[in-house]
Each structure stands twice: as structure tokens, then as C-alpha cells.
Copies of this chain bind each other. A is one copy, B any other.
């Protein structure tokens, strides 16, 4: 079944809100085995809503609208859909009664335009709204299915799942679509694509690269007559992919890189401390985004000033003066000292130039040293990162995590 999503609302066209309705609906429809080829956003304008609706009727069997169901003059979706399909609007007595009872409870008279929300296209089904006053609509006509949902996500979400999905399930039947996302670290998107080129060709399952921040994500999607059949197709493809890039795969689906590393620390009974200069807290922040990170993460020293590198971490002044704050020696000393001071098993340290100012020909913006200390070793590695301050901070924190991950995989 081919589906299509149309979001109605001038605030979308002005960029005042992000179209989270579309991403929610897209994921839900994919889960139902409905292929969505198009998403459209259009303003609160009768003629243009009609135009995109007509186009959708030509190319899709299911059209899901979000937004434009409220009580104001601007809310046009329901009326325009009915008009386009040649259906007249009829009063839904029960919903009218329900609206009146809400206002009775509030003790305020119901504004007259509110009753507009109780009118629905003839032959349509009303989908009750348990979180607002605008009901949804489900209708079928000439082989097309049209679903109208309210714009606010907290109203749309439960209405779609509880009211619309049971109706749609009957129409899609049979075929199942299952997706799995494999997550890779330490490989560029281009290199992954080159190694996996042959796998990107297949039709079932399909394999597609997704953009992850500093990571590569690969989505495998399989269709089958049953969920089990689709899952088996995925399992075969995953094995093939693992043969090629298995050493880069750190997890899947909702896994995060910092979370997987945290689990590895926990499994080994090891603790971690960090010492940050140019990442300025980003590394510790990433690590502590994982619930339960307090079980293995002791904390961090954000030593932004040279003085604090000495005072808080005890990095010797002769190292700072002799090699500079941005040097392999300083990175190594930060890691070594942080590990000892905190009594941790591992320490990561980052020092570098995040820019935009402060670079020099010998030490340009983007130059970063990452240090690591563990039982019996201290080391530091040099990197050059491109991009703005935000990107350099993010990339440096990522590469620090990657250094620890490589170590944990080997022990």
C-alpha cells in the first residue's frame, strides 16, 4: 500500500515549528508496511490544500493529513477534503454534546465557532480526541483511504495509535516491514559506502547509509509475508555486512556510542575519569547522557585555563611551558594525572584548538591531542579536525570515546 503524508499549517511554512508529526507518522506507517514516498507541508489555504490533495489522490492509496482541524477560520483541512471528494458536512451529535459538556464543566459558555469541530464529512468515521477538542476523521472513497489528524503531536500520537492504526491494519494485512540500524564508529561514510557498494544494490532487504554525527549508520530494511520472514532476511544481510565492516560496528538501533562504551566498562568492572581542555565538558556530557553512568564514570576535570591544568590536575609547569598546552606531552600528563587523582582505571584527556581564534602556523585551529591512561600505559595521539568550533569539539569528544573503545575491545 502506498501512503502519503500532508501536514497543513502556515507555521510550518514560516519555519516556526518543526514537522515532527511527519516523522512520527512516517515511522508508524513504515511499521505497518505502508510505503511512504512523499511528505508535503502546505499552508492554511483552501486552494493549495486542494491542489496537493488532488495530486496525492493520483499517486497514493492512503493519505494522512495532520493539522487544520481546529475551531478557527484558518482551520480548513476537513472542509477542503470534503469539498474535493464531493461530500457534504454533517453534524456529529455526540461530539457536539461532548464539546458542550466540556464547557459546562469549565463553567464558561462555549464559543460558537467551537461547534465547527463537531461537523464531519458524510460517510466518514469520527476519531475521538482524548487530549483536545478537535476530533480526527477516517474515510474511504473509491479505493482511497483518507485520515485526518489534529496538529499537536500530543493529540495526534495517541489518536493515530489507538484509533487509526486498528482501522489501517485491516487494510494492509499480510506484508510486514522490519528495519534494523547498524551503528559504526571509526570509519568514514565514503569508505563504508565503497566497501559495501554491492549491498546497496539489493531490493529486499535494502541497505542504506544514514547520517550519524561522526558515525556511520546503516539501515537494513526487509519486507516479508510475516514479521519472522522479514527478520530472517535481515539476519542474513547483517551477517554479510558484518563480514565486511564488522570491526567498526559498535551497536544497533537505539544504542549510543557512549552508552555501549559504558556497558563495556561496567562489564569489566572498570571506572573512567576525563580531563578536558578544548572539548570543555562535551566529553563528560556525552558520557553522562547515559542513564546509570554514575556506576562507572567518576567525573571530569575541565581544565580550560593553563593555571587550572597545573592546579587541579598537577600538570607540571615545565611541560606546559616546554611543549605548550596543546601537545602530546600535555595530553599524556593530563590523562596520567587525572587517572591517579581520581583513582580511576582509565582516563581520557583532550587538549587542542577549537577556534575560531588562537591558531598559529605550527598549531592551527583543529589540532587536537587525545591522551589515554590505563593500567601500565599512557599514550597520546595527534589529530587534525576540520570545521567550526562546534564541530571540532564534537569530533574531538567522539575520537576520545573511540580511543577508549578500541582499548576496551582489545582487553
Contact = CB atoms under 8 A, between A and B. Distances in A.
A281 B287 CA distance: 9
Nearest to A309: B299
Interface stretch (A77-85, A140-148, A150-158): A150-158
Interface in A54-92: 55, 70-74
Interface in A286-313: 286-289, 291-294, 297-305, 307-308, 311-312
Interface stretch (A165-173, A185-193, A315-323, A373-381): A185-193
Main secondary structure of the interface of A (DSSP, over half): mixed
A342 B311 contact: yes
Of listed A130, A151, A301, residue having the most chain B CB within 10 A: A301
Nearest to A397: B285
B48 A42 contact: no
Interface in A306-362: 307-308, 311-312, 341-343, 354-358
> In which size bucket is the chain A interface?
35 or more
A288 B197 contact: no
A343 B7 CA distance: 50
A16 B29 CA distance: 12
A55 B284 CA distance: 48
21 contacts: A11-B219, A13-B36, A15-B23, A16-B211, A18-B20, A37-B48, A74-B208, A102-B386, A111-B191, A131-B388, A280-B285, A281-B284, A282-B285, A282-B288, A284-B284, A284-B302, A285-B285, A292-B357, A293-B304, A298-B305, A301-B302
